[in-house]
Amino acid sequence: MELTLALAIGVVFGAGIWLVLRPRTFQLITGLLLMSYAVNLFIFAMGRLWVDKPPITPTPDIDPAQFADPLPQALVLTAIVIGFATTALYLVMMIGARGLSGSDHVDGEEPRE
Amino acid sequence: MLLASLILVPFLGSVLAALMPQDARNRESWLAIAVAVCGLLIALALFPKIAGGEVLREEFAWLPAQGLFFVLRIDGLAWVFTMLVLAIGLLVVLYARYYMSPEDPVPRFFSFLLAFMGSMLGVVLSGNLVQLVVFWELTSLTSFLLIGYWHHRADARRGARMAFTVTATGGLCLMAGVLVLGHIVGSYDLDTVLAAGDRIRGHDLYLTALVLIALGALTKSAQFPFHFWLPHAMAAPTPVSSYLHSATMVKAGVFLLVRLWPALAGTEEWTWIVGGAGVCTLLLGAFIAIFQHDLKGLLAYSTISHLGLITVLIGIGTPLAMVAAIFHILNHATFKASLFMAAGIIDHESGTRDLRVLRGLRHKLPVTATLAIVASAAMAGVPLLNGFLSKEMFFAETLHVGGDRNWWMSYAAVAMGMFSVAYSLRFISIFFGTPAQDLPRDPHEPPRWMRFPVELLVLACLVVGIAPGISIEPVLNIAVHAVLGSAAPDYDLALWHGLNLPLLMSVAALVGGVLLYVVLRRHFGLQQRERVPLIHRLNGAQAYETTMLQLTRAAEWLLRRVGTRRLQPQLLLIMAALLVIPLLLAGAPPAWTSIALQDFDPLFAGIWAIGAGCAVAGAWMAKYHRLAALALIGGTGIVTAATFLWLSAPDLALTQLMVETVTTVLILLGLRWLPPRLESIAAAPQPPYRVWLRRARDLTIATGGGLALAALTYAVLVHPASDTIADFFLLNALGGGGGSNVVNVLLVDFRSFDTLGEITVLSIVALTVYALLRRFRPAPESAGIPPQQRFEADPASRQSPAEQADSGYLQVAGIYLRLLLPFMGVIAVYFFMRGHNLPGGGFVAGLIFAVAILVQYMLAGTAWVESHVHLRPHRWLGVGLLLSCATGLGAWVFGHPFLTTHTAHVDWPLVGELHLPSAFVFDLGVFAVVVGTTMLMLVALAHQSLRAHRQPGEELAEGGVELADGRATRWN
C-alpha cells in the first residue's frame, strides 16, 4: 500500500512538472492540476495510511489511536477548495492573455526561433 | 477626555465637512469656525492649570503588551502651540470663506483643512514619540491633499508630490530616529525620554538618533538642503499657504527640535547639524527671496529664511536662544500669516501675483496696503513691531557664538537682516508708484470679513511690538518654563535696552537693506531680472527631479535584471529550485524503525495503475488533444477521490469528486477561447536538435521531481507518526464541538477562523474572476460562433439551446435532468444537515447545489435558466460572509472570544432532541459562499460566449441569442 501510493504520487507529480515546463498555457493549467493532486495526496499521507478508520467518533470516550488523523484531512479539504478557486483564476488569466496577446504561449508571444 | 476631544473634534468636523453638499460654503465655514472655537475654549479652560506649571496627561491603551500607550500630554509649550494652531486656524477658515470661489468643491477643502488641524494638534499633544510620528506623517498626508487641492493644475500636482515626497521621507527618518531613541531610553514616553537627556547624549547611538531626527525636522521645516519644496507648495490655495506655511506645518519641524531640546541638545554635533543647516537656510532663503517675481514665492523664501533663523537659535541652544526661538516662532506666525492673506487678497482682487506688473495698489486698496506694509515692516524687523524684538534677541545671541574673536555668525546675521529688509521693500513696492493699468482685474477692497483676520494679526504685531511685557511675556514664560524647566533664564522683553551692540546691528541691517534694495533696483535691474545671481545653479527642485528620474531608471534597470517578462524561464527556475533546495536543506533521516504497514492490495495498485496511466497519458495528450487530456486528467482526479475514500477520508473523497466535476466544466467552458494548434509547429517534419535537448532537460527535472517526492512520501510512511494534536481533536470533537465528524468539526469549530479566511479568499477570487471577465476581449478568430454550431445540415444549429432541450435532440436528457434538479437540491440539503456528524458539510453541500444549477445551464443554455431563476451569486457571497462573520461576532455578545461555538439542545415535537451548534450557522455561511463562488465564476465564464456574438461585423444569430444578449447586459 505505502509503496503503491508513494509511487503513484511520484508519477503524478512528475507528469505535473513536465507539463508545467511546457510552453502552452493549457499544458500549464493541466500540469498545475496534476501537481495539486500529488501535493494533496502527499499532505494527506502525512497522517499515515488508515483503512476503514474514518475520523468519525461515535462516543466521546474513545481511543484516539483507532482513528485516522483528522488534521491533514481538514487541511487537504481546504486545499482542494482553494485549489479549485486558483484554477478558475488561472483559467481566466489564460483566456484573457490569449485574447490580449493573440497567443497561447506562456510568455505571451511565440518564441522567436 | 478633554485633551482627546481637542484632537477628536477637528477629525469629526472633517468627516462632517466631507458629507456636506458641493456649494455649502457658508455651512462649511460655520462648521470649521465652530470646531476651531470649540478647541480654543477647551485650551483656554486648561490655561489656569498650565499657567501653574502643571503637565496634564491622558492615557489610553494602544498596544499595552508592547508598552505602547496613546498618551496625550499638554505642557506650556504644547499649550502655546495648540493656541497658535487653533487661533490661526480660526482666522484662516474665516478668510477661506471669502477666498474660495463658489466653483471650488468646498467640502473637500474644509474636510482636509480640519483633518490637517487635527493631525497638527496630534503632533503637538503627543506624549508618546511613536504616536507623534504617526500624527507627523498624517500632517504630511493632509498637507499633500491640501497643496494638491486644485488637482487639475499640473503645478499643484507637482508641488504636492514634491512636498509629500520630501516631508514623508523625512518622516520615515524621524520614525527610525525615534526607534533608536526608544532603544536608548527603553521607553517611547515623552516624559521619560526628556528626563533621560544625559543617558542619550552619552550613548554610542546618540549621533545616529540625532541625525535621523534632525533629518525629519529639517525636511519638515524646509531647511537647506531640503528647502526647495516650500516654494513649489505655493501652488496651494492661499488660505492653505497662510495656514501651513506660516503657523503650522513648517513649524512642526522646529517644534520637534524645541520639544526634544532637553533630550538631545547641548553637544557639538547638535550645534553643527542644526545650527549649520539653519545658517545656510537663513542666508540662502533671504537672498533668493529678493529676486522672486511671485508675491507668494517671495513670502515662501522669506519663510524659509525665518525658519532658518529659528533653527539657528535652536542650534545655538543656550537658554536665552531658546527663548528667542520660541518668541520668533510666534512672531513669525503672526506676521507671515497676515502677509500671506494680504497676498491672497491682492491676487484675488487684481488677478495676478506678479511683482513686475503690480504697482500703485495703495490707491485702490488703501486699507490692505497699510496692513501689508505694517506686516512686512514686522518681517523686516522695524522697531515698534514684534519682528524687531525677536530679531534683536537673535542678534544678541549670535554675538555669543564663537567667542570674542570669531564674528562670522554676527556677520551672517546682519547680512540676513539686510536681505530681509530688501525683500520686504520689494514686497511693499507694489503699493507705490503710478497705478498699473494692465492688471487682469480692477482691484477693489475685499469684503469686510475677508480683511478682518489680517487686521487682527497686524494689530497683534503692533501690540506685541509696543508692549511686549504685558501682552506676550506671560504666554512666552509658560512655554519657556515647560522647555527649560529650572534652566529658564531671566529675560526682559522690552523695546529699549539701551545703546548696545544688537541695536547697532539692527540699525546696520536696516540702513544696509535699504541701500542694497536701492542699488539692486537702480543698477542691477531687480524688477526684470530672470535669475537669482550667483547661486541660480543651486537648484534643489532640479536635484529632486533628477533624483526621482534616476530612481525610476534604477527601478526599470532592476526590473529588467531581476524580473522577467517571460514566464517559462521563471517556471523552470522554480521547478529546479523545488528540487534542489530541499536536498540542500534536508538533514540525515531519523533512525529507521519498522512499523506495521498496510497490506499490499492489488485492487488499490490496479486503480493507481489507471490513475498514473491517466496522468502520463494526459501529459502527453495536452499538446495534441485538449479535450482528451482534460478527460484523462479528470481520470486521475477520480482515482485520487477513490484513494481518499479508501484511506478513511470520506469527506475528502466527496469534496474531491465535486470539485473535479466543477473544475472540468470550468475548463471546458474555457477551451473555446484557446487557439487551434499552430500548423507551422505541427507540420515541421523533424523538431530541431535544440527542442530535443530542451525536452530531455525537462524530462530529467520531471523524473527527478517525481522520484524525489515518491521517495519522500515512502520515507514518511514507513516511519511512525510522532505525537500530534490530532488526539486532542478526536477526543474533544463530540464533547466540545458537538459533532462526531471530526473533520467537519475541525473546519467549522476548532479551526473556524482559518475557514473564515478561506471563504474570504474564495469570495475574493470569485469577484476577481468576475472583474477580469468584464474586461475580457476574446481573440478575433475565436469570437464567432464555432463551426460545429453552424453546420447547416444539423437541425440543432437553427435552434436555441432551450429549444433543443424542449423539443430537439436533447429532449430525453432535458426531461430527466430537469427532474433531477429537486433531487439534487434535496441531496445538497441532506449532506449539509448531516455534515456535523457524518461525511458532508457546507463545502460539499455547496458544491452539490452548484452542480445542480450548472446542469441546468449546460442543458438549456444561459438564457433559459436566467429567465426562470434569478440567482444573484454576488448576494450569495455577501450573505454567506455575513452569516459566518455574524456567528463569530455573536460569541462576543456572550463575552466569549471571536468564533466560539455554542451548542443548543432543542426538543422538537416528532423529531426528538436536536443538537443545534452555532457552528451550524457558520457552516451555512460556508455553504452560501461556495455556491456563490462557483456560480459566479462559471456563469461569468458562460456569459462570455453570449457576448462574443456581439462582435462588430458579425451577423446576429437567431432570437434565442438576442434574448440572451438582453440578459447578458445585466451581467456586463
Q: What is the pLDDT of residues B334-351, one digit of tens each?
A: 999 999 999 999 988 888
Listed in sequence order, the residues at least 6 apart from B630 whose beta carbon sits closer than 8 Å to its beta carbon are A30, B618, B664, B667, B668, B671
In angstroms, what separates the C-alpha of B666 from chain A's closest C-alpha?
7
Q: Is residue B173 part of a domain?
A: no
pLDDT class of B957 with cuts at 50, 70, 90: very low
The answer to whether A98 faces chain B, any CB pair under 8 Å, is: yes
CA dihedral B481, B482, B487, B488 (to 10 degrees): -20
- Return the minimum-mean-pLDDT range out of B119-133, B301-315, B548-562: B548-562
Cα angle at B192 between B186 and B195, to 5 degrees?
A: 115
Q: Is residue B88 part of a domain?
A: no
Residue B5, CB half-sphere, CA atoms under 13 Å: how many? Answer: 13
Torsions phi, psi of B914, nearest 5? -120, 135
The answer to whether A100 faces chain B, any CB pair under 8 Å, is: yes
Q: Which helix (H) or strand (E) holds B195?
A: helix B190-195
Q: Which residue from B minimizes the CA distance to A9?
A: B710
Average pLDDT, whole number, for chain A? 89
CA dihedral B163, B167, B168, B173 (to 10 degrees): 160
Q: What is the pLDDT of residue B663?
A: 93
The answer to whether B729 faces chain A, any CB pair under 8 Å, is: yes
pLDDT class of B798 with cuts at 50, 70, 90: confident
In angstroms, what separates the C-alpha of B650 from chain A's closest C-alpha?
7
Q: Using an 8 Å CB-CB cutoff, list chain A residues near B726.
A: 47, 64, 69-71
Among B490, B508, B531, the domain-final residue is B531
Longest dimension (CA), chain A: 68
A window 30-69, beta carbon within 8 A of B: 30-31, 33-34, 37-38, 40-42, 44-60, 62, 64, 67-69
Collapsing DSSP to helix, strand or coil, B903 comes out as strand
Collapsing DSSP to helix, strand or coil, B905 comes out as strand
Amino acid sitting at position B341: M
Q: Is the ipTM of this complex over 0.90?
A: yes
Rounded to whole angstroms, the Cα distance separating B763 from B845 reads 17
Q: Is residue B392 part of a domain?
A: yes
The answer to whether B846 faces chain A, any CB pair under 8 Å, is: no
**Residues in a beta bridge with B537:** none
Q: Which residue from B minimizes the CA distance to A14?
A: B706
Q: Which residue from A minimizes the CA distance to B769?
A: A89
Does the beta-carbon distance from B575 to A17 stay under 8 Å?
yes
Q: What is the pLDDT of residue A8?
A: 95
Does the beta-carbon distance from A14 to B705 stay under 8 Å?
yes
Nearest Cβ partner for B734 among A33, A46, A60: A60
CB pairs under 8 A between A and B: 314
Q: Using an 8 Å CB-CB cutoff, list chain B residues near A76.
A: 649, 652
B window 537-596, beta carbon within 8 A of A: 565-568, 571-572, 575
Rounded to whole angstroms, the Cα distance separating A11 from B711 reads 11
**Residues in a beta bridge with B74:** B56
pLDDT value at B967 more than 50: no
pLDDT value at B177 more than 60: yes
Q: What is the pLDDT of residue B681?
A: 62
Rounded to whole angstroms, the Cα distance separating B468 from B461 reads 10
Cα angle at B527 between B522 and B528, to 5 degrees?
A: 115
Mean pLDDT, to the nearest integer, of B424-448? 86
Range picked from B105-119, B829-843, B889-903 for highest mean pLDDT: B105-119
Q: Which residue from A minimizes the CA distance to B737?
A: A60
Q: Is residue A56 part of a domain?
A: no
Q: What is the pLDDT of residue B590?
A: 67
Listed in sequence order, the residues at least 6 apart from B430 whose beta carbon sits closer than 8 Å to its beta carbon are B295, B346, B355, B358, B359, B361
> Which three cell numbers mark B516?
542694497
Q: Is residue B460 part of a domain?
A: yes
* Residues B919-931: tens digit of each pLDDT: 888 999 999 999 9
The answer to whether B679 faces chain A, any CB pair under 8 Å, is: no
Rounded to whole angstroms, the Cα distance separating B11 from B795 reads 70
Does the beta-carbon distance from B839 to A7 stay under 8 Å?
no
Q: Is residue A59 part of a domain?
A: no
Among B566, B971, B565, B567, which residue's Cα sits nearest to residue B769?
A: B971
Alpha helices in B738-810 (DSSP H): 742-745, 752-774, 801-806
The fraction of chain B above a pLDDT of 70, given in percent, is: 95
| Cα B458–chain centre separation | 40
Q: Is residue B470 part of a domain?
A: yes
Average pLDDT, whole number, for chain B? 87
Neighbours of B588 (CB within 10 A): 5
Torsions phi, psi of B911, nearest 5? -75, -35
B window 364-383, beta carbon within 8 A of A: none
Q: Assign 3-class secondary structure to B344-377.
A: HHHHHHHCCCECCCCCCHHHCCHHHHHHHHHHHH
Nearest Cβ partner for A57 among B633, B740, B761: B740
Does the beta-carbon distance from B716 to A46 stay under 8 Å?
yes
Q: Residue A22's domain spans which residues?
A: 2-49+68-101
pLDDT value at B539 more than 80: no
Q: Is residue A9 part of a domain?
A: yes
pLDDT value at B303 more than 90: yes
Does the beta-carbon distance from B674 to A104 stay under 8 Å?
yes
Does the beta-carbon distance from B670 to A91 stay under 8 Å?
yes
B window 911-940, beta carbon within 8 A of A: 930, 933, 937
Torsions phi, psi of B906, nearest 5? -120, 135
Torsions phi, psi of B74, nearest 5? -130, 125
Q: Is residue A81 part of a domain?
A: yes
Rounded to whole angstroms, the Cα distance separating A93 from B742 reads 37
Q: How many domains does chain A have?
A: 1
B170 by Cβ neighbours in 10 Å (0-12 / 13-18 / 19+) ranks as buried
Q: Residue B513's domain spans which residues?
A: 265-531
Q: Is residue A10 part of a domain?
A: yes
User: What's the CATH number where A97 sits?
Assistant: 1.10.287
Q: What is the pLDDT of residue B880?
A: 94
Q: Is residue A109 part of a domain?
A: no
Rounded to whole angstroms, the Cα distance separating B251 from B116 reads 13
Q: How many domains does chain B have?
A: 2
Contact by Cβ (8 Å): A41, B626: no
Q: Is residue B278 part of a domain?
A: yes
pLDDT class of B808 with cuts at 50, 70, 90: confident
